[in-house]
Amino acid sequence: MEPAQVQVTYMQMFAPPVAPLLRRAEPVQRVQLEIAAYLELYRQIGSPWGWDKRLLQSAAEVNSWLHSGRLRTYVLLDGAAAPMGLCEFDRLNVADVELTNFGLLPAYIGRRLGPWLLAVALQSEWTERPSRIWLHTDTGDHPRAIDTYRRAGFAVFDQRWEAVEGL
C-alpha cells in the first residue's frame, strides 16, 4: 500500500510586502512561548489541518526548538490578551527564512484576522533584511491558504506531490 500523498506548494518572496493600509485593533506580539502554551496553541490551531509534527516530537525536542534562538513566534491577541493565532518563522539561515506555521484558532477563521497577523509578522521579519522568506503549504491546509499567501506577496516557485509525513 502506497503512503497517502498531498500536493505541496512552495512559495517565496524576495522583498517586504506593502504595509497593510488598514490597521486593526487586535495586537500582534512577538513572544517566547513556553512548551505547554506553545503545544496547546499549536494543537488548537493545527488540529483541523492535520498538524502533528510538534505533537510527535518529544518534550525535549520541542523545548529545544522553542529555545534554539532560531524561532520567531508572533501571536495575535484578543482584547483579553488571549491568543487567537500564531505565525512562526525558522531563522536557521538568516538570509533564507522559512515561515513554518501560520494559522488561527478555528473560532477566528473568516474574520480577516489571518491576513493582518501575517502582514504584521512579515513586516517585522523583513526588518532583519533576509534575502527571501519562503514557505510550503499543502492540500490539507485551509482552502484559502495559497490565496492568502499570494495576497501577502508570496509567489509559487514549485509544486509537487509528496508523501504525507508529520506537518
Q: Beta strand pairing status for 83-93 and 71-77? A: antiparallel
* Grid cell locating 146: 495559497
pLDDT mean by block of 10 residues, the chain; 167 residues = 86 90 84 96 96 95 95 96 97 93 96 94 95 95 94 97 73
Separation between Cα atoms, residue 107 and residue 3, nearest integer Å: 32
CB environment 2-12: b (16+ within 10 A), e (fewer): eeeebebbebb
Q: pLDDT tens digits, residue range 92-135?
A: 888 999 999 999 999 999 999 999 999 999 999 999 999 999 99
The domain spans of the chain are 5-163
Count of alpha carbons within 13 angstroms of residue 134, beta-carbon side: 15
The reply to whether CATH 3.10.620.30 applies to domain 5-163 is no
Task: Determine the pLDDT at residue 19.
Answer: 75
